[in-house]
Each structure stands twice: as C-alpha cells, then as structure tokens.
Amino acid sequence: MSRTTAQRLGRFVLETAPALAVGLILLPWIIATGSARPWQPAMIDLDVYVAAVTDLLAGGDIYATRTPGWDLPFIYPPIAALILVPAAWLPQWGLQIGWAVLTVLAQRLILARAGVRRGVPLAAANVALVLAFEPFRTTLGYGQVNTLLMALVVADLLPQRQRSPWFPRGALIGLAAAIKLTPLAFLVLAVLVGRRAVAAWGVGTFAALTAIGALALPTETRVFVAKVLAGQLYGDPVYVGNQSLSAVFARLAGTGSSISLLALAVSVLAALVALVAASVWWRRGERVLAVGLIGLATCLASPLSWTHHHVWALLVGLAALSATMSHAARLLAGAWTLWVALCPVLVFLPYGFGVERSYSALQHVIANLGPVVGAVLCVVLLAEGIARFRFDRAGRRTARRGVDCSANLV
C-alpha cells in the first residue's frame, strides 16, 4: 500500500468511525421504544421497508402492509420495494448496523461535497450531525432514507471530480426520484441553470426505473398512482412534527377544502420562489446554497414534511458560513438552520392525538415558526440574489465600456 493510499484510508476512517461509533451507541435511545440490553433499536421505518419486502416476496400487497405495534404502511413507489428486496435476506441486527453504516457514510459524503474541511473538522461535523442535528439523528434512529437520498442528489450536483461516462451525472438524482418523488425538483433546477444533460439523464433514469417497477408490479403501480392523484396521505396533517406550509394552515385554520386550496397555492408559490432563488445563486457560484434551497422548497411544498425530512437545512447553514450573502440573510439562514437542528417543536410542545388543535397563541408561534421563517428566507434570498445579479451585470457592462474607451484612445 502506497503512502498516499494509506493516508486516504486513514482520513476515511477518521471521518467515519467516530460518528458511526457514537451512532451505534445512541441508536437504541434515539427512538423511545428502543432497548440497549438487549441491543434492539426501534428503527421503525426500516421495519416498514422489511415488512413490505417480506410481503412482496410472499405474494402479498405491499400497500396493505402494516408493521406490528406501530401500524405503519409502506408509502413508496413499487420500484423502491424491488430495490429493497435484499433487506429481507439479512438478520435484523445485521440490517440495522448496515443501515447505520450507510447513513453515516452518506453524511460524510454530504459534508465533504458541501466544502467542510477534510480530516478532523469533517469528523467532528459528522459526529455533531448524529448528536445534535435532529433531522439527521432521527433519520438514523428511524432507519429512514432521507440522508441516503440526499447523498445521491449531492453526489450529482456537487461533484468533486469528473464522473465516469458509464455513470453520468443525473443518474443518481433519477434513482433518488424513483424511490421518492420529491428529488424531481432538483432536475428542474438542472434545466434552469443549463445543465440539460444532467436533467436528461435524471429523467431517463427515473423513467426507466419507474417502468421496471410498473412492469414487475403492475397492480401495485396502479394503486400507488391512484393514491398520489387522490392526494391520499398517511398521518395527521396538523401534527406538529409536520413542518410544511400546508401544516401551518391546517393547524391555524383547519383542513377544509377552501383552506386546503389556499395552502396548496401558497406552497406552490413558495416552491417557485425557492426554485428561482436557487437558480440565481447557482449562477453566482453558490451551488451549496442553491441545492439547499431546492431541498427547503421540497419541505415547504410537500403536504407532509416531518422534521426528519429537513436534512437539507444543513446545506443552508453551511452556505450561511461561507456564501456571499448579506449579513442579515446570513443571520436569517443560520437562525433557521439552528431552529431545525434543535427542533424545539418536539422538545417544548405537546403533540399527537390532535392536541395541536387546542394550542395556545404562543404554542402556535413555536409550532409554525419554522416553515414561515423558511418561506421568508426564500423570499429574502431571491430578492438579494436578483439584486446582486443585476449589480454584477451592471459592473460587467461598465468594465466593457471602459475597455472600449481605452481601445478607442489607442
């Protein structure tokens, strides 16, 4: 082994092992029903995936699957169940450890691609995500896919080196979108910023994988499409762990049809603002911020955005440390990221069984502050991005006129 290879391996272990050790130690305590002795973490979302795949292999209906105790359903497209088939062949403890390893590796990739300095700083940041960043900690605890899907998107949009022609950029986003539809928003960003090859490969991969799922599981595909078109959701939209803009309307004004339509319109508008803001900042070279804004858009616009879906706040927070935004925008982005990381809505408020409908005025402020500030942040960054873009363009025009005048004098 060469010295360079040994150094890279040592750095890889340094950046991964501490976070993994901390994660495995904490795993039984992250979700309340876990057990340390014997070691049995309550990775309840991972249990859903395994239950659905087990039913699939037995010839059952994956959308009729319910996990024992928690009664949770499988809500992903059919291709996701096919991709997860190997999970049914592993012992529970092996799958849980393996999933934790993949999640921590995904965190390392995200941090590295977002520009965190390698070695000790990245290792410390990786541990911090497990300890103190609620969306990442609970994604690990639940055995969720959020961090893994984020890593696929980041690997395509924030690459460190030229990708092999056999595995073009965009394909990983297409894979992520086939598993969960919301990453399609990143392909829209690719189109807006002129990365049409990335968008084409993403759409092609998404379409191919979705077609495979439809051919292999036609009945399940029809059921899934019907659920999506009907807007069938699992979970109470007023639950305070739902930090979408639609949830703000549901908690404050109810879930009537007119309120739901208004919430939908506001959510779409917020997503469009975030999308345009992201494209402007991307063109200014602030790509970490741009990707974070698209992630924020998906959380704001989705009808159900649980707190652990907000892993994208990490990119917004990292951008606030280095991006060329104003001091006020930097403070707003940092404050929103800290709010998401600490997740006071689940720390200080009662929740569940509809108790949110009887919140006091102060409790409503705490419950709804996150998505409202997130939407305001999108508006602020759009306005500032456009202003800076116009200023830069005016500066270039002035510089060109100066060059022309100098040429005429000569």
Q: What is the pLDDT along the chain (410 residues), one digit of tens a residue?
A: 666 888 899 999 999 999 999 999 999 999 988 888 898 999 999 999 999 999 999 999 999 999 888 889 999 999 999 999 999 999 999 999 999 999 999 999 999 999 999 999 999 999 999 999 999 999 999 999 999 999 999 999 998 776 666 779 999 999 999 999 999 999 999 999 999 999 999 999 999 999 999 999 999 999 999 998 887 777 889 999 999 999 999 999 998 999 999 999 999 999 999 999 999 999 999 999 999 999 999 999 999 999 999 999 999 999 999 878 899 999 999 999 999 999 999 999 999 888 999 999 999 999 999 999 999 999 999 999 999 878 766 665 665 655 555 555 55
Q: What is the pLDDT of residue 25?
A: 95
pLDDT for 64 equals 92
Name the region of 352 (left: φ>0; alpha: ψ -120 to 50; beta: rest). Answer: left
Q: How far apart are CA 262 and CA 268, in angstroms?
A: 10
Burial of residue 14 (CB within 10 Å: 0-12, 13-18, 19+) is middle
The values of phi and psi at residue 306, to 5°, are -65, 160
Backbone angles phi, psi at 109, to 5 degrees: -60, -45
Q: What six digits make up the tokens of 95?
A: 């799958």
Residue 386: CA count within 13 A, CB half-sphere = 10
Which residues, at least 6 apart from 25, have a Cβ–Cβ distance to it below 8 Å?
none
Give me the pLDDT at residue 162, please: 66
Q: Which amino acid is at 9?
A: L
For 84-131, what is each residue's pLDDT tens digit?
Answer: 999 999 999 999 999 999 999 999 999 999 999 999 999 999 999 999
The H or E element containing residue 3 is helix 3-30
User: Other CB atoms closer than 10 Å to residue 174's CB: what's the count?
Assistant: 28
pLDDT at 152: 97
Q: Identify whether the C-beta of residue 204 lies closer than 8 Å to the C-beta of residue 184.
A: no
Whole-model pTM: value is: 0.93
Write the CB contacts of 271 (distance below 8 Å, at least 6 apart in sequence).
185, 297, 298, 300, 301
3-state secondary structure 74-138: CCCCHHHHHHCHHHHHCCHHHHHHHHHHHHHHHHHHHHHHCCCCCCHHHHHHHHHHHHHCHHHHH
Q: What is the pLDDT of residues 298-344, one digit of tens each?
A: 999 999 999 999 999 999 999 999 878 899 999 999 999 999 999 99
